[in-house]
Amino acid sequence: MSVVSFKQPLYVDGIMPERALLRLRRAGIAVYGVKKISPKRIRLSVEKKDIEKVFAIYPNVCYNSNVYTPYTVEKAPTKGLARAWERIRTRIGLCLGCLLFFAVTLFADGFVFGVDFVGTDVYARETYAALEEAGIRLFAPYRAGKEDLVCAKLLALDGVEFCSVQKKGMRLQVEIRVAPFFAGDVKKGSMRAEHTGEILSITALRGTALKKKGEFVNAGELLVGDWFTAEDGEQVRVQAIARVRMSCVWEEKIEATTEEEAFAKAYLSLCGANGEKAPTLRGREIALQADGTFLVNVRYEIVQSMNF
């Protein structure tokens, strides 16, 4: 049984080129597959480790024009397995990169990186709560087989006629269809800030706006009152309909092993823990503290609405 060895094929040119083999033999260079192609050219192969010796004995005149030698040597193209190996060797970096890309993609495909609502998101808060109860969390491996459990909880909500939960790529698609005349839960009372931050815009279709654009408010402060003032000064109670957009900053120490894990936990605290819709991120800063924790600072925008 022969062992395949990859060698470098060469062309030797000159008058009676077979005589060049004698000098190679004296130098202890083994030659293989000698074949005379023409009266002045032969083809042979040598071990890769002997290439420099061969060119030292018979330098290529193209690069050594001042050196006389009766024979010239040049590399010949490889064939068969050797040629295939050369092609693979020169492209091994590209091949490994492709394999790594597909491996990462297949690994990430098993996670959930976001939730998309189809139909209506009136029950977004309840959906996040149902997903959490079923063990389906953002930035965590997807637990298949829990879709019917989530749909059962959502179908029990008032007005829901159809529900579907499907994983598409790296995101979860939740489709909710409600009855044609379903108006959703009507909230009563005044609208209070759920976050601390600066008001970017405030719209009150019904009720009295108590804050203005550019004002800084703390969580719990009144934003829109459930009344309007008549011409005679009397306050008339109404059902508030309002929408507020705010710029906020969230900062907290997080126990984690990496910055990515610290940010993931911070993001879950913002949008997953209490069932709120995901905020719009505007920036983040993560710093390692002396006690081994990470100080995470996240700047985000949130939209808060009431009966809007």
pLDDT along the chain (308 residues), means of 10: 58 79 83 84 84 80 55 73 58 70 60 86 87 85 84 82 86 85 71 94 91 95 90 82 92 91 86 62 92 93 87
Amino acid letter, residue 103: A
User: Would you list the DSSP string of 141-164?
Assistant: E--TT-HHHHHHHHHTSTTEEEEE
Q: Residue 58's pLDDT is what?
A: 79
Residues with Cβ < 8 Å from 118, sequence gap 6 or more? 173, 174, 175, 176
Task: Output the CA angle 27-33-34, nearest 5 degrees.
Answer: 65
**Do the beta carbons of residue 255 and residue 219 sit within 8 Å?**
no
- Please, is 202 exposed, middle or buried when counting C-beta atoms within 10 Å of its C-beta (0-12, 13-18, 19+)? buried
Helix locations, the chain, DSSP H: 20-26, 51-57, 80-90, 92-108, 124-133, 147-155, 259-271
Q: Residue 148's pLDDT is what?
A: 86
In the three-class reduction of DSSP (H, G, I as helix; E, B as strand; rest coil), residue 3 is classed as coil
Phi-psi category of 27—alpha, beta or left, where left has phi over 0 and alpha has psi -120 to 50? Answer: alpha
d(CA 80, CA 94): 22
Look at strands 216-217 and 197-206 and give their pairing.
antiparallel
d(CA 58, CA 11): 11
DSSP character at residue 185: P
Quick count: other Cβ atoms within 10 Å of Cβ 87?
A: 11
d(CA 176, CA 162): 6
Q: Among candidates 219, 220, 191, 184, which has minimal Cα distance to 205?
A: 191
Q: Residue 4's pLDDT is what?
A: 42
What is the residue whose two structure tokens read 């040598």?
46
Q: Among candidates 213, 193, 191, which has minimal Cα distance to 201?
A: 213
Q: Among candidates 283, 252, 290, 286, which has minimal Cα distance to 269?
A: 252
d(CA 271, CA 294): 19
Q: Among candidates 300, 282, 192, 189, which has minimal Cα distance to 244?
A: 192
